[in-house]
A and B are shown apart, each in its own frame.
Chain A
């Protein structure tokens, strides 16, 4: 299964039928590319005259459709003092519009059998509806409506700020791993916007005004900053007609130029110890890692499988099975547009110290720097990654999510299957090179969590 560009696309007749009698330039549709998706399916990319990007994958395997709206806005587009705005805004998008009362959006879609939700991270925000395939007209109308005609009121903003504050308590303040992870990014990044949490600092959440939200909406929520992804049992021509009809009247916005601030190279290890009401000591480490679009990201992912992927991985075997010093050990590479972190999380067992575990971990990481992994380990890692990749494609929603993510972060949905090819190409030598380049102690940040049973205001210290 591989991705390939090809020219066929829809027939000229289809495009001219779609554009017949469409006067405004911004509602005229242009075919851009067709990309193979696995063995039998293909994705087509279209552009509407107002800059709206549209991906369509017809997949008749179940009578359902996944309709997703990906916006190129995330927490990286915020500024200090206004962190968490992208995420708060995601919540507000489910409120009132000029044509729908508060709560109507969800009520109408739920009655149609839809599952709706959204997510925000550093580089993007996306909204999805998984719904019966005969409801495509409804969802197209409602999504276009809230993209252009959202109504923001003080009461709703205040209520949603409370909800987000609760979400923050749930995910961060009262969650050991969430709290440690937030500290890790704040420690590892000094300039780049990745240093603040997507959910935002509590003080910033509490301080947002309705005007902040309105300004954010005007700046980022526009057809030329969005990609629609439609996957499922749909009639392509009908779906495109609906998109022209409902989005064709929307005007493009003047988008901000480049937002990225390059993170200065970290030159020495940073360590922070925090005390939390935790059951045992924990250890979170972040090595500066490659950006998602780089080949090195794929190589590091294969290495991560060898080190932490499942019960047979090197570190699980060593820390959980052989030495019995940890109850869990896992790691992942942030899939960010700019270089993020290779994050390692270890929860120690009672009576074992996180510093001792770090020494053991260091020895293991040195081993991959000094000698190459075996061919057996490589094969195992690649098979596991293939399984994970295919499992993510089981539903219309899973396919749409992959397409939207690749289109938004890398600018090319066609690269979904290239990533699987990249994993397959990785060699033991590649892994050793990447380990030498990225697993460098002076370029890492470490957060130790010490258990504390008592009141807050415990000590914490950074070096």
Chain B
């Protein structure tokens, strides 16, 4: 039993770590991060395939193939799979993002062998039954409808679509109702066959497992995988928005709004990634950063106020997120835009730089305090073709950030003029105020139940 209750602030944190690494003769990359602390083992298989690989009109296909893998093999139906996982004291999740699909399992150590055998079996021999696909499509459509009850998720999803208009990063990972309808079993099989090749996969293990145990496990369950190359997709650089544009996701009876303001963020291998990270931390990355101080501590307008620097192969999003009451929305948005102006024009101060660096360096121990976190950092290195010791350079890289570099990175990357602003609110109550925000060129309204 753990404590829940209600807290003073929303959580947020990032990750990093170190261990054993090898590649099988098929080309499968294997990473290990052992720890004897608890009798638990984490196993994951990550595909270097994400929603950016969804063909036009079939948005949601990559997530769908991940979900379909879980629906069983010719010998095991989906219910039997779920029953077996639970009986072993395990759990299995499938996570799809723009850049990867990850099958992530955790199991009590005594049941590691049968659990690994099941994971391997699911991945190697998915049944992809027509009846299962029909079920998963109905389930996905129901999930899309249910997600409309979550205002924050509505704001986040619509912000990305608005910012990355027409770009693969703007597609909802889960898909659209019409694209889900269009997906056929053949599409799922093809997507799987193209991407389930050893060099496209990363096998990760952490927790109560030794190197010798992992070698045996790989030999028994993850050898003789299909070889070959997965199709490479060259994701074009997303275009920066031109001008300030507002999207209102119109939902009835909102006493509170969800406000996302942002522009393009960073690439994982940007040379000024760390200067940008430090500057963002000073601006809106901690509880005492500028944004939280002005919005929450001084004015009490929003329970949370953070800025986030997204990173991917191409530039992801940089966002400010607050959730003011409807009556405070315009004032809060104005304040944030003023603060952004100041952030870009004046940059951060030497004192803020010192504070942000101290925070990032000193709190790094929580990025690596469990074997699972250390492994995740190494998987990210492999996924994004970064040096294997990239995560070990974190502290040095942060310490090395100079004030000029941090402020130059902000000037270069963050635009004051070209912004996407997305609000979940009752449009009738806020539209006029949003149109009056400085520099706004257009205000578009969509219904919240448009997916």
Q: Could you give, for residues 28-51 of chain B, a 1 whenever the CB lies within 8 Å of some chain A CB and a 0 otherwise?
A: 000000010111100000000000
- Knowing A64-B366, A279-B149, A402-B2, the reply to whether A107 touches B355 (Cβ < 8 A) is yes
Contact, CB under 8 Å: A111 / B358:
yes
CB contacts under 8 Å to B, within A311-357, are 311-313, 317, 320-321, 324, 327-328, 335, 347, 349-350
Interface hit among B234-242, B300-308, B384-392: B300-308
B297 contacts partner chain A, Cβ-Cβ < 8 Å: yes
Contact, CB under 8 Å: B146 / A166:
no
Hey, which chain B residues are within 8 Å of A404, CB to CB? 3
Query: In angstroms, how far is the closest chain A Cβ from the Cβ of B69?
Result: 14
B221 contacts partner chain A, Cβ-Cβ < 8 Å: no
CB contacts under 8 Å to B, within A402-420, are 402, 404-406, 419
Contact, CB under 8 Å: B37 / A394:
yes
Complex Cα–Cα for A159 and B303 (A): 11
Hey, which chain B residues are within 8 Å of A58, CB to CB? none
Query: In angstroms, how far is the closest chain B Cβ from the Cβ of A36?
Result: 15
Contact, CB under 8 Å: A349 / B142:
yes
Contact of A279 among B145, B302, B372 (CB under 8 A): B145
Query: In angstroms, how far is the closest chain A Cβ from the Cβ of B131?
Result: 12
Contact, CB under 8 Å: A309 / B86:
yes
Complex Cα–Cα for A404 and B1 (A): 11
Q: Could you give, for residues 288-327 of chain B, a 1 whenever the CB lies within 8 Å of some chain A CB and a 0 otherwise?
A: 1000010011111111000000000000000000011100
Hey, which chain B residues are within 8 Å of A384, CB to CB? 86, 89, 91
Contact, CB under 8 Å: B5 / A173:
no
Contact, CB under 8 Å: A405 / B1:
yes
Complex Cα–Cα for A165 and B362 (A): 33
Complex Cα–Cα for A63 and B40 (A): 21
Query: In angstroms, how far is the closest chain A Cβ from the Cβ of B116?
Result: 16
Complex Cα–Cα for A171 and B151 (A): 11
Query: In angstroms, how far is the closest chain A Cβ from the Cβ of B52?
Result: 27
Contact, CB under 8 Å: A312 / B83:
yes
- Knowing A63-B365, A324-B138, the reply to whether A312 touches B85 (Cβ < 8 A) is yes
Tell me the nearest residue of chain B to A160, going by C-beta: B300
Hey, which chain B residues are within 8 Å of A394, CB to CB? 37-38, 40, 370, 372
Hey, which chain A residues are within 8 Å of B296, CB to CB? 163
Contact, CB under 8 Å: A320 / B139:
yes
- Knowing A163-B296, A383-B89, the reply to whether A453 touches B252 (Cβ < 8 A) is yes
Contact, CB under 8 Å: B369 / A173:
no
Contact, CB under 8 Å: B3 / A279:
no
Contact, CB under 8 Å: A454 / B151:
no
Q: Could you give, for residues 1-42 of chain B, a 1 whenever the CB lies within 8 Å of some chain A CB and a 0 otherwise?
A: 111111111010100000000000000000000010111100
B253 contacts partner chain A, Cβ-Cβ < 8 Å: yes
Hey, which chain B residues are within 8 Å of A62, CB to CB? 365, 368-370
Hey, which chain A residues are within 8 Å of B146, CB to CB? 279-280, 327-328, 347
Interface hit among A19-27, A118-126, A145-153: A118-126
A392 contacts partner chain B, Cβ-Cβ < 8 Å: yes
- Knowing A166-B325, A380-B87, the reply to whether A120 touches B5 (Cβ < 8 A) is yes
A265 contacts partner chain B, Cβ-Cβ < 8 Å: no
A236 contacts partner chain B, Cβ-Cβ < 8 Å: no
Hey, which chain A residues are within 8 Å of B298, CB to CB? 159
Contact, CB under 8 Å: B86 / A321:
no
Hey, which chain B residues are within 8 Å of A126, CB to CB? 3, 5
Hey, which chain A residues are within 8 Å of B40, CB to CB? 387, 390-391, 394
Q: Could you give, for residues 234-262 of chain B, a 1 whenever the CB lies within 8 Å of some chain A CB and a 0 otherwise?
A: 00000000000000000111111000000
CB contacts under 8 Å to A, within B145-200, are 145-146, 148-149, 151
CB contacts under 8 Å to A, within B86-118, are 86-91, 106-108, 111
**A-B pairs with CB below 8 Å: how many?**
228
Contact, CB under 8 Å: B362 / A405:
no
Hey, which chain B residues are within 8 Å of A61, CB to CB? 35, 37
Contact, CB under 8 Å: B363 / A114:
yes
Query: In angstroms, how far is the closest chain A Cβ from the Cβ of B15?
Result: 13
Query: In angstroms, how far is the closest chain A Cβ from the Cβ of B451?
Result: 11
Contact, CB under 8 Å: B143 / A327:
yes
Complex Cα–Cα for A117 and B253 (A): 31
- Knowing A113-B364, A130-B366, the reply to whether A279 touches B148 (Cβ < 8 A) is yes
A396 contacts partner chain B, Cβ-Cβ < 8 Å: yes
| Residues of B contacting A: mostly | mixed
B435 contacts partner chain A, Cβ-Cβ < 8 Å: no
Complex Cα–Cα for A162 and B146 (A): 30
CB contacts under 8 Å to B, within A93-110, are 94, 102-103, 106-107, 110
B359 contacts partner chain A, Cβ-Cβ < 8 Å: yes
Hey, which chain B residues are within 8 Å of A112, CB to CB? 358, 362
Contact, CB under 8 Å: B252 / A455:
yes
A249 contacts partner chain B, Cβ-Cβ < 8 Å: no
Tell me the nearest residue of chain B to A174, going by C-beta: B256
Query: In angstroms, how far is the closest chain B Cβ from the Cβ of A168?
Result: 9
Hey, which chain A residues are within 8 Å of B1, CB to CB? 292, 335, 402, 405-406, 419
Query: In angstroms, how far is the closest chain A Cβ from the Cβ of B357?
Result: 10
Complex Cα–Cα for A119 and B2 (A): 12
Contact, CB under 8 Å: A113 / B362:
yes
A269 contacts partner chain B, Cβ-Cβ < 8 Å: no
Hey, which chain A residues are within 8 Å of B91, CB to CB? 310, 384, 387
Contact, CB under 8 Å: B83 / A380:
yes
Contact, CB under 8 Å: B301 / A166:
yes
Hey, which chain B residues are within 8 Å of A386, CB to CB? 89, 108
Complex Cα–Cα for A62 and B373 (A): 12
Hey, which chain A residues are within 8 Å of B251, CB to CB? 277
Contact of B82 among A110, A312, A327, A379 (CB under 8 A): A312
Query: In angstroms, how far is the closest chain B Cβ from the Cβ of A324?
Result: 6
Hey, which chain B residues are within 8 Å of A312, CB to CB? 79, 82-83, 85-86
A90 contacts partner chain B, Cβ-Cβ < 8 Å: yes
Tell me the nearest residue of chain B to A393, going by C-beta: B38
Tell me the nearest residue of chain A to B37, going by C-beta: A61
Query: In angstroms, how far is the closest chain B Cβ from the Cβ of A23?
Result: 36
Contact, CB under 8 Å: B288 / A103:
yes
A167 contacts partner chain B, Cβ-Cβ < 8 Å: yes
Complex Cα–Cα for A406 and B192 (A): 47
Complex Cα–Cα for A350 and B109 (A): 41
B394 contacts partner chain A, Cβ-Cβ < 8 Å: no
Contact of B361 among A102, A113, A116 (CB under 8 A): A113
- Knowing A103-B297, A121-B5, A279-B148, the reply to whether A396 touches B369 (Cβ < 8 A) is yes
Contact, CB under 8 Å: B362 / A132:
yes
Contact, CB under 8 Å: A280 / B39:
no
Query: In angstroms, how far is the closest chain A Cβ from the Cβ of B144?
Result: 9
Complex Cα–Cα for A363 and B369 (A): 47
Hey, which chain B residues are within 8 Å of A162, CB to CB? 299-301
Tell me the nearest residue of chain B to A198, going by C-beta: B6
Complex Cα–Cα for A159 and B302 (A): 11
Residue among B138, B142, B372 facing the most chain A CB atoms (10 A cut-off) = B142
- Knowing A170-B256, A312-B82, A402-B1, the reply to whether A376 touches B87 (Cβ < 8 A) is yes
A5 contacts partner chain B, Cβ-Cβ < 8 Å: no
Complex Cα–Cα for A313 and B87 (A): 11
Tell me the nearest residue of chain A to B80, going by C-beta: A312
Contact of B4 among A91, A103, A121, A455 (CB under 8 A): A121
Contact, CB under 8 Å: B8 / A91:
yes
A279-B145, A386-B108 provided; 17 other pairs, C-beta below 8 A? A91-B8, A110-B288, A111-B355, A113-B362, A113-B364, A115-B363, A161-B300, A165-B325, A198-B6, A278-B149, A312-B82, A324-B139, A328-B146, A390-B39, A394-B37, A394-B372, A453-B252
Q: Which 3 A-B pairs have the closest CB atoms?
A: A113-B362, A162-B300, A383-B89
- 11 A–B contacts, CB within 8 A, in A order: A62-B369, A63-B369, A94-B8, A110-B359, A124-B5, A158-B300, A162-B301, A174-B255, A327-B145, A383-B86, A454-B252
